[in-house]
Structure 1
Amino acid sequence: MNRKRKQEAREKASTRQLIGIEDITGHSLVTPHGELVFFMVKPTNISVLSDSSIGARIYALMNVLKGISDIEMLCLNSRENFEGNKSYLKARMDAEQNPVIRKLLAQDMTALDRMQVQMATAREFLIIIRLRGEKEKDVGPYLSRIEKSLKDQGFTARRAGEADTKRLLGVYYEQNVTTKMYEDYDGERWVILGE
């Protein structure tokens, strides 16, 4: 295929095709490289734990990981990142001649710093299981066994649903942490069926 045809095909491709997603099911993300199942693990605040308790948590996680063959881990910020805004404010402060405006910009920068500190613990931890050619009848028990293993080791975890998967993609690709519901098609919420 020549370059022009490739460019035309790329322009007509959907977002899912561009990022290599074949389907989003109720429990997984289907890609050409396997089906991905996400387990959302609630983080533990280790800053309040003793050294021995932290060691026990690490050992528990090791026990979970050694029982799973195809595992990946992902950590996402589930809140806004203010670095772009702070860079803009710093550049404006450097360029601003009026001391009153500079003081207001500095106050804005301080407010952003406070917000970012308050949200610093807003992380999402995911264990990702990549299914490759497993039989449909074997998948359910396998995933249930993993979820049980996580809970038996003291982790608060649950399998991500379709809405969770869409939100995770929104955070990962777009840094969009404010959208409550993601549509399958742009403008889908405005379509009125039956008229």
Structure 2
Amino acid sequence: MGRKQKQKERQKQSTKELMGIDEITDYSLKTPYGELVYFIIRPTNISVLSESSVSARIYAHMTVLKGIAEIEMLCLNSKENFDDNKQYLKRRMDTEQNPVIRKLLQQDSTNLDRMQVQMATAREFLIIIRLKNEKESDVFPYLSRIEKSLKDQGFTTRRADNLDIKRLLGVYYEQNVTTERYEDYDGERWVVLGDV
């Protein structure tokens, strides 16, 4: 197949096909390399814990890792980056003649700094289980055992659902942390059913 033909074929592919996704189910992401199930772990602020508590958390994490052979991990940075906006405001302040406008620009910059500090700990930790050739009847008991194991070790966790998976993909691929609802199809929110 020639280069132009390959490019035409690629342009016909959907976004999911380009990303290597077969399907997003209610509890997983199906790919040609297996079905991925995500467990979202709420992070612990270890900066306020004692040294013994941090050691206990590390040991609990190690116990989980040793107990589940198929485990993969992912950390997403779910915070927005305001650096470009802050640079723009700085340039505007440097060129602005009106002191009132300059003061407003400074307040905007301070507000962006404050927002960035508040979001500095907005990380998401994920445990990923790759299912391969498991019988459908065995999947949910297996996932429940993993979730119980995580909770028994003191982790606050839950299995990601369809909307969580779409949000995780949005954060991973485009650092989109502001969209509230992801569509299955582009423009889906504008379709009015029953309207003829």
- Give the structure-1-normalised TM-score: 0.90
**Partners of 1:117 and 1:11 in 2: CA distance:** 41
**Deviations, residues 9-42 of structure 1 (Å, cap 9, x unaligned):** 1111111111111100011001111111000111
Give the length in aligned residue pairs.
194
**Partners of 1:85 and 1:130 in 2: CA distance:** 39
- What residue is the counterpart of 2:55 in the other structure? 55
- What residue is the counterpart of 2:88 in the other structure? 88
**Partners of 1:77 and 1:2 in 2: CA distance:** 39
- What residue is the counterpart of 2:128 in the other structure? 128
Q: CA deviation at 1:81?
A: 1.9
- What residue is the counterpart of 1:72 in the other structure? 72
**Partners of 1:119 and 1:83 in 2: CA distance:** 14
Superposed CA RMSD in Å reads 1.8
Structure 2: any 5+ residue segments left out of the alignment? none
- Give the structure-2-normalised TM-score: 0.90
**Partners of 1:92 and 1:35 in 2: CA distance:** 49
Q: CA deviation at 1:79?
A: 3.1
**Partners of 2:86 and 2:69 in 1: CA distance:** 42
Q: Taking every aligned residue pair, what percent have the same amino acid on both sides?
A: 73
Structure 1: any 5+ residue segments left out of the alignment? none
**Partners of 1:92 and 1:13 in 2: CA distance:** 43
One-letter code aligned to 2:147: E
Q: CA deviation at 1:91?
A: 4.5
Structure 1 stretch 105-114 or stretch 60-69: which is displaced more?
Answer: 105-114
1:111-190 aligned at under 5 Å gives the runs 111-190=111-190
Structure 2 residue matching 1:127: 3-state secondary structure: strand
One-letter code aligned to 2:97: N
- What residue is the counterpart of 1:15 in the other structure? 15
**Partners of 1:139 and 1:17 in 2: CA distance:** 25
Q: CA deviation at 1:134?
A: 2.1
Q: CA deviation at 1:116?
A: 0.4
Structure 1 stretch 85-94 or stretch 43-52: which is displaced more?
Answer: 85-94
One-letter code aligned to 1:167: R
Structure-2 change in CA distance of 1:120 and 1:6 (3 Å): same
Structure 1 residue matching 2:73: 3-state secondary structure: strand
- What residue is the counterpart of 1:46 in the other structure? 46
**Partners of 1:136 and 1:166 in 2: CA distance:** 23
Structure 1 stretch 177-186 or stretch 105-114: which is displaced more?
Answer: 105-114
Q: CA deviation at 1:83?
A: 2.3
